[in-house]
Structures are given as C-alpha cells and as structure tokens.
Amino acid sequence: MSERAQLRQARRLVIKIGSALLTNDGKGLDEVALELWVDQIAGLIADGVEVVIVSSGAVAVGMSRLGWVKRPDQLHELQAAAAVGQMGLVQSWEAQFKRHDIHTAQILLTHDDLSDRKRYLNGRSTLRALLDVGVIPIVNENDTVVTDEIRFGDNDTLGALVANLIEADGLIILTDQLGLFDKDPRKHEDASLVAERKASDHELDAMAGGGAGALGRGGMQTKLRAARLAARSGAFTVIVGGRIEGVMTRLRQGDVIGTLLLPEQGRVAARKQWIAGHLQTRGKLTLDEGAVRVLCLGGRSLLPVGVKSVSGQFRRGEMVSCVDESGREVARGLVNYDADEARAIAGRPSQRITEVLGYVSDDEMIHRDNLVII
C-alpha cells in the first residue's frame, strides 16, 4: 500500500481549519467556502469516516462582527471577541451540516482539560460517544476563559492533541498555503512543495521558517510541531491548501496534493511505545493465572474478574503494573478505574460493575490498546 493510500483507508480523521481560511483573510466568515468544506466532509462521513473538526476563527469572526480591524493585544478584549465570534461560528457549522441531516456539537477545551488524566479520559469518552451516534464535534480552544499560562498556543497544537485523544488515523490541517515548501514561496520563485516526509525529519525545521499572519497564532513551524505531536500516537498529518478545489475529496482519492508527514510507527505500536517508555507506574494489579495467560498469549484486554488484588493509589488513566501471583511483572497499562473503584470490582465479572459501583465507565480494567506486555 502506497503512503498516500493511507488517506483512502483512514476511518477517523481530525480536520483543522485556520482563521485566515474561515474568515477569508479577515473579511468575515466565508460561508461559501464553509459550504464547500461541509459538502466534502459529508462525503467522507457517507464513506464511513468519523470526523472531528477543530475550527479556528472565533476571535477573527468576533473582530469582524465588532468592526475591529486589528487583533487586540489585551486578553480581556480577545476573550470578548471570542465570545461574540463563537456564536456565529457554531451557528454556521450547524446550519451547513443540517443540509446533510448531520448534527454537530460544540466542544470547548483548555490545556487543563487535556493535562488532567481524568478530564482527558472524560473528554475522550464524550468525543467517542458523539462519533458513535453520528454527531460531528466542532472543537475550539475555550478562548473566553483561557489565560496565557494555560493556552495551547495555536489550534494546530489543539488539532494534534485531539488526534491523540481520539486515536485518529490522521490529522488534516487546512491552511492558506498549498503545503510545506523547501523555501518560503513568498520570497523564492523556485520553491518546491515537499510532497512527503517523515514528521521526524530534522531537515524540515529549516524549511518551516516564517510566522503566522495577522489573524492566526500559528505558522508553518507550529504545523510541523503539530505533525510531530500527532505522530506520537501513530497519526499521519497532511498540511494542505484549504482553497484547493475539492481538497478533502482529492485527498481521500489519494491525489498528491499538500504535504504528507508520516509517523515512524503505526498507531498502536507508537501508542504502546509511549505507554512503555514515558509513564511511571502508580499502582499494582495482581492477576490470577488465567488473566496472565490471556494477556500474554491471547492479546486480550484485562477484565476485572482476572484481578486478585490492588495496591497503591492511582487515578483513572494512570499507569499501573500488572504482576502474576509470584510478583513478576507481566504487563503495564492505563487503568480505566481509580484505585478504590478497582479494589471494589476486582475479581468480579464485568456485568456486575454497575451493581457494585452504581455506574460503569468501561467493561475492561485495562483495554488491550492501552496495555503493553513486558
């Protein structure tokens, strides 16, 4: 399978659209372009693709509605513009998708939502639930309350974090440039489009150069950083011109447009490498012989019924060590329940979780995608 064929095979995508595109370089929300993008996204959905949209533009739309020409420097003015603009932005997305009988949902995030493990997992569960019922989440940074200390920095980064959050196959960044060039095309007529590279390629750093326009916070450097962040969970990234006719349809067909930045490893392998090498264990689960066998030989998830005892204090989403009855570590993974909850349901079948806790977050104590065999 060619690398471009990955776009034809993708089943879950995050699509990020920048402020300059959405507002036609600050002239107001570009409803015509929005209609065309929505038609293409509806085509992706009809093809069985789950889509999350990361939509910039709240501040820019608010500036246009308020008659402000220059982006404000004061935080409270930016937040006011975002509050005004978010209303128009969400209404437009909802109206456009309604033509295709597709519902949308507004999701506003701050850095705290993705740095706190419990809120991270709750956010992931909400996004997955929306996708399961055919709703398109429209994600943006919560500019009305965010401060510089907890700002993502740009929506390219937010797009990559959302791709990690929902374990997307790919991130598509629609921008006002055709893609990443080996030189700044605004200054060099002989600049060539970079069609495909590994996201980790250090030669790309010199090519990215440049900064953002007047409306946005991100430039090509932030898009490259976002691609590398998305690659940590095995997602590819495409940086491509949003004004290219039929851009998303053409990408889906495997056309060579934009810049495709590839991860070093596939999604599951990259995620498990991250789990194995970058998180400290917070507790320990002692497993019975049957659970050890199905984990090591069967590639299965860990169910509560296979857990004999729980030690340590940990929260949902933190790393725990899985040991056999002799104390030998056999696996480690991200646990779906807090320590006290895990103790309460240890040794019990999954069907009884609701009876014991009064609710159920997951049937598994640790899902196989979040589990690494040692």
Please give the annotated binding residues for ATP, written as ranges. Answer: 16, 175-176
Please check whether residue 165 is in contact with residue 127, taking contact to mean a CB–CB distance below 8 angstroms. Answer: yes
Q: Residues forming the annotated binding site?
A: 16, 56, 143, 155, 175-176
Separation between Cα atoms, residue 63 and residue 194, nearest integer Å:
34
User: Token digits for 179?
Assistant: 């893609």
Q: At what angle do helices 117-132 and 155-166 cross, to 10 degrees?
A: 80
Separation between Cα atoms, residue 346 and residue 340, nearest integer Å:
10
Strands (E), 4-147: 12-17, 50-55, 104-109, 136-141
Separation between Cα atoms, residue 215 and residue 173, nearest integer Å:
16
- The 8-class DSSP code of residue 304 comes to G
53 - beta bridge partners?
A: 15, 138
Q: Residues forming the annotated binding site for substrate?
A: 56, 143, 155
User: Token digits for 321?
Assistant: 């060590």
Please check whether residue 306 is in contact with residue 291, taking contact to mean a CB–CB distance below 8 angstroms. Answer: yes
